[in-house]
A and B are shown apart, each in its own frame.
Chain A
Amino acid sequence: MIAHSIFFYTFSLIAIVSAIMVTASKNTVHSVFFLILDFISISCLFIMIGAEFLGMIMLIVYVGAVAVLFLFVVMMLNVAQQKNQWFAAKDSSKHIPVGLIISTLIFVEIIIVIGGWKYKPEIFDINNSLSQSSLSNTHSLGQILYTDYIHVFQISGMILLVAMIGAIVLTFRQRAGVKRQSYIKQISRERVDGVEVLEVETNKGVRIDD
């Protein structure tokens, strides 16, 4: 049990410190790296409470895919050069009240959910069905997601698809004068179409560009 709490406090300390560093570090690329560290330590916490599937999915989806795209965007846009303009600006105090309101809202929401979980467990009907099963949590997640909640699951997939198509439609533009390479044409080119052997007469030469 002691080892368990040591690991818990280590991971949560890393998670909190790196979350602070995400906002505090001056270089934007460093912020993204701290965000990745945060994701990793949170997935370690997930694994520690026995939710190994969630922890691994967190690693694969957030660290393996989402954060890579973040890094891409931050590196390509060269925001690192702007060196903390946001905080150094004169009207920096303007966005503090908004931030405070939003963070208070999130905090209250978390308190409501966790308080409900602790003092009124019967309002969560999933809670009961999960606790008796001796299955691994991958199995039990699958059995709930693909039976009782299949429609919700499908709809969330459709929402993601709509978001993807929307992003493509918004950024897609047809440009004139773009030379496209036809894959089929390239690989179906034969030697006879491309190469011609000519008898060249001395001092006469050949025209090659007609």
Chain B
Amino acid sequence: MEYLSVVFQEVYKILFLLIPVLVSVAMIVWLDRRVWAFVQKRQGPNVVGPFGLLQSLADALKYIFKEMIIPSSSNKVIFILAPIVTMTLALIAWAVIPFSATQVLADINVGILYLFAVSSLGVYGIIMGGWASNSKYPFLGAIRSAAQMVSYEVSIGVIIINVLLCVGSLNLNDIVIAQQNLWFVIPLFPMFVIFFISALAETNRPPFDLPEAEAELVAGYQTEYSGMMYAMFWLGEYANILLMCAIGAILFLGGWLSPLEIYPFTLVPGALWLILKILLLFFLFALVKAIVPRYRYDQLMRLGWKVFLPFSLIWVVLTASFLFYFNLLPVN
């Protein structure tokens, strides 16, 4: 009986987190398309519901009622497993995101490592989908995407080390609290820029959307997918983008902290501040999609390995020396 009540409590908490995440994923798809349209002086989706807010819902309904086609020469188990893996990995990472000092599903010691591990597993959904389709374009897309994600993870890892040097803990709440006086975006601004660009590459967003470059690869690893499975890939992708925005907000923009610790700002709950910061970062993601042309693949690899990695490594040395010289290293 005791176990059962614990299980119910946890399920209740998980649903309380998951349903808003899923709804907001649907909403940011709409936001993405709207921002994209406005940059190009178009209207974007504005017909379904007020301001077109229900567009994603209509799209989801369409996908549900479409036929799911499984290619006869595909590897069926892995073909079906791939979108499930993508979606699951995009959602389980939200377990450690702190919405305030107490509002967090799992306040684990190695929170940032968990996030890093889950985001590095994200590549499997794409490889599995690309390989199991047994077709040329998906396979090429999957190979491209895997190489790209593995390369940019390295620089994201080094950037995380930069932040951890200033914090002295892997716990996400500790990382947020360490920014009480100064958000890390100010002293580590170059790292924030590199993190943002690497996050674009990690989530396969334009200008790094080589894996699904429609001019060359039809739709990359999703070419053979249809109906609900395609929708799951698409939801997982956007959930991953939101997650990268959340990681950026926690690492550099002070997470759930309010920008100023004075009267009118302190009334706003921490969760709202985190959501606002995530939305700000997502707005930048959407803008970049609209205004930047696609990278060439060799230049993408060059940028990851020859520019970002050495630069962030040098910055690690700089940060460590600065903290050591001025005796600011967080020791407990």
Residues of A within 8 A of B (CB): 3, 29, 33, 36, 52-53, 56-57, 59-60, 63-65, 68, 71-72, 75-76, 136, 138-139, 181, 183
Contact = CB atoms under 8 A, between A and B. Distances in A.
B79 to A, nearest CB: 12
Contacts of A60: 113, 116-117, 120, 157
Given A3-B3, A52-B108, A138-B110, A64 B117 contact: yes
Contact of B298 (A33, A59, A181): A181
Interface in B112-129: 113-114, 116-117, 120-121, 123-124, 127-128
Contact of A68 (B3, B116, B127): B127
B197 to A, nearest CB: 17
Contact of A65 (B143, B150, B302): B150
Interface in B274-298: 298
Nearest to B299: A183
Contact of A56 (B117, B127, B299, B332): B117
Interface of B: 3, 75, 78, 108-110, 113-114, 116-117, 120-121, 123-124, 127-128, 131, 139, 143, 146, 150, 153, 157, 170, 298-299, 302, 332
Nearest to B78: A33
Point out which of A3, A64, A181 has the most chain B C-beta atoms below 10 A from its C-beta. A64
Those 7 A-B pairs whose CB atoms lie nearest each other, nearest first: A64-B120, A59-B117, A56-B113, A60-B117, A136-B109, A52-B110, A56-B110
Contact of B131 (A3, A75, A183): A75
A59 B120 CA distance: 9
A71 B109 contact: no
16 contacts: A29-B75, A36-B124, A59-B120, A60-B116, A63-B121, A64-B117, A64-B121, A65-B153, A68-B123, A68-B124, A71-B131, A75-B139, A138-B109, A138-B110, A139-B332, A183-B302
A72 B146 contact: yes
B152 to A, nearest CB: 12
Given A29-B75, A64-B150, 16 more contacts: A33-B78, A52-B108, A52-B109, A56-B110, A56-B117, A57-B113, A60-B117, A63-B120, A63-B121, A64-B123, A65-B120, A65-B150, A65-B153, A68-B123, A138-B109, A138-B110
A68 B150 contact: yes
A72 to B, nearest CB: 7
Contacts of A64: 117, 120-121, 123, 150, 153
B121 A59 contact: yes
A29 B121 CA distance: 17
